[in-house]
A and B are shown apart, each in its own frame.
Chain A
Amino acid sequence: MTQGIRVAALDDIPEGEGVAIDKAITGTADDIALLRDTDGSVWALDDTCTHEDASLADGWVEDGYVECPLHSSKFCLKNGEVQGLPATRSTCPHRVEVRDGEVYLFPNQAP
């Protein structure tokens, strides 16, 4: 597991968007959203918004934050911290590495 799980090719994730990785692959309690910021960097957070049942991978990724597609809750990509209502709880971040155009996920490890 120290090498991480290869979960996507970098080109699979357009800037400003995300993809959900099934928890059956990651072994986590929740699916994990791989989110690519507008600067090209890739981040990973628990996929389910802490406010209501929506996938953050379907959200809008921009300038260090992901905005939930349902009611616009915002979470910091780096640490999962919530940025104001309607969500009140932060979400869990996971470590990601990009090597040779491949995205590797380290579930439940701090970024």
Chain B
Amino acid sequence: MRIVVAGGGVAGVSTVAALRAGGFDGDLTLVDAGEFPYDRPPLSKEYLAGSRELKQIALQPPHWYDEQGVRLINECTVAALHPADGTVELAGGLLLRADRVVLATGGGAARPPIPGVGGDRVHVLRTAEDADRLRAALTPGARVLVVGAGLIGAEVASTAVDLGCDVVLADPVATPLAAALGEDLAAWLHRLHARRGITTVRAGVASFAETTDGIEASFVGGAEASFAGGVEPRTFDVAGPGVAAEPSRVFDAVVLGVGMTPQTALAESAGLDVDRGVLVDAGQITSNPAVLAVGDGARTRQGPRVEHWEAARHDGARAAATILGTRAPAPTAPWFWTDRHGRHVEVAGHMETADEVIVRGSFDDPSFSVFGLRDGLVVAAAAVDDSTAVRAARRMIDRRVPADPARLSDPSASLRTLLRG
């Protein structure tokens, strides 16, 4: 059997690795647009800061592909699928035989249709090339606007302030990540920005305009009048009805961290079902049984599209199991992490489904965590510099271990013991 995997992100590489680990001995080809497959989380952190090089964030060491018998076709993309012919067409026209194809094409950084958004000073962050370009702009003293205070935006803001930039972080949402983290923890996390000297503005951007001095951003729904004169770190929150024309400010660089758009063009042109992602079943099979899809660009018919690193890794393992006809790993509670301002934050489960929230420790402690309960069971946890709490919580969620709120809230009570019941 011949398999072609299109895309060398974590989903694609995990698919390939799981296929070989599961005993697949057929022909295996991985097509990737980059110099080699690399890990994306460091692009907003160590790689952007310049403390890690590209080869240090490779998803696999260079010799791995040879050792695993994987043909890596780099700096290339898949141009078209021809399932009826059993071929895949590469950019440049080369045809590869393929009995099964795995689409791991991910997505692109979203660029909302804001006037002026196409200017050279406006950055996104999805690839190493994006990061290289952005890093060149993050010079000490540079005036940087980050639009969007979610995971990517917050991490870029943190890295930029580390690099000595004068950073403004704008998001129209009062408390970014509130659904995923719970209101209190999300608010605490968002306040870290101001403590590090970042100006946070509750606002969106209406337009960008090139000036002789930089790029001017016009804010909507926020940014009170003192914005122009204020240089000290502060938080604005003046969104409200009746606020129309808002102040503007000039920046040297703008970074958009406003989400991603799934890359579905290949699937669409091959006639696959697409709806906000390439639609797949529980085994990652698309509407054509010869084609599977994994990672950020795929979505199960039952649920939302998930954009987290570990979800992509699990997709790869599931796709490999489907192809091999083996049992897929049992699903586990979703999990993601973010690193900003020297704090490591992890989240497991679905905090938005909790009907009770228990704080373990204090928000003033060096580490603490928050557990979300529903009907007496742990359904989510979020922790700051306490990965063990999230490790325990994931097991509690997956195994439906009854929660004891008193012990959960007591930092001196061992969660490992609690897990054992």
Q: Which residues of A contact B (CB under 8 A)?
A: 14, 16-17, 58, 60, 67, 69-72, 84-86, 88-89
Contact = CB atoms under 8 A, between A and B. Distances in A.
B87 interface: no
Most buried by B among A71, A84, A85: A85
Given A17-B416, A70-B344, A72-B310, A85 B388 contact: no
Contact of A88 (B60, B391, B392, B414): B60
Q: Secondary structure of the B side of the interface?
A: helix
Interface string B205-217: 0000000000000
A14 B388 CA distance: 14
B387 A70 contact: yes
Nearest to A69: B387
A63 B115 CA distance: 56
A58 B388 CA distance: 8
A85 B60 CA distance: 9
Contacts of A69: 387-388, 391
A32 B61 CA distance: 24
Given A14-B416, A17-B416, A60-B391, A85 B335 contact: no
A70 B64 CA distance: 24
18 contacts: A16-B416, A17-B416, A58-B387, A58-B388, A60-B388, A60-B391, A70-B387, A71-B337, A72-B310, A84-B14, A84-B17, A84-B21, A85-B10, A85-B13, A85-B14, A85-B17, A85-B313, A88-B60
B32 interface: no
Q: Secondary structure of the A side of the interface?
A: loop
Nearest to B337: A71
Nearest to B58: A88
Given A60-B388, A88-B60, A89-B61, 10 more contacts: A14-B414, A58-B388, A69-B388, A70-B344, A71-B337, A72-B310, A84-B21, A84-B313, A85-B313, A88-B58
A88 B61 CA distance: 7
A6 to B, nearest CB: 26
A93 to B, nearest CB: 20
Contacts of B64: 88
Interface residues of B, number: 24
Interface in B16-66: 17-18, 21, 39, 58-61, 64
Contacts of B10: 85
Interface in B258-314: 309-310, 313
Nearest to B344: A70
**What 8 pairs across the A-B complex have the smallest Cβ distances?**
A69-B387, A60-B391, A16-B416, A88-B60, A88-B61, A85-B313, A85-B10, A85-B14
Nearest to A51: B39
Contacts of A16: 416
Contact of B59 (A58, A72, A85): A85
A17 B10 CA distance: 29
A88 B62 CA distance: 11
B386 to A, nearest CB: 9
B393 to A, nearest CB: 11
Contacts of A70: 344, 387
Contacts of A14: 414, 416
A36 to B, nearest CB: 11
A71 B41 CA distance: 11
Nearest to A89: B61
A69 B385 CA distance: 10
Contacts of B13: 85
A89 B67 CA distance: 14
Nearest to B18: A84
A41 to B, nearest CB: 16
A71 B39 CA distance: 13
Interface in B309-361: 309-310, 313, 335, 337, 344
Contacts of A89: 61
A70 B344 CA distance: 8
A89 B62 CA distance: 12
B14 to A, nearest CB: 6
Contacts of B58: 88
Contacts of A86: 39, 309
B246 to A, nearest CB: 40
A12 to B, nearest CB: 15
Contacts of A58: 387-388
Nearest to A86: B39
A60 B391 CA distance: 7
Contacts of A88: 58-61, 64
Nearest to B309: A86
A86 B344 CA distance: 16
A70 B309 CA distance: 14
Interface in B392-421: 392, 414, 416
B59 to A, nearest CB: 6
Contacts of A60: 388, 391-392
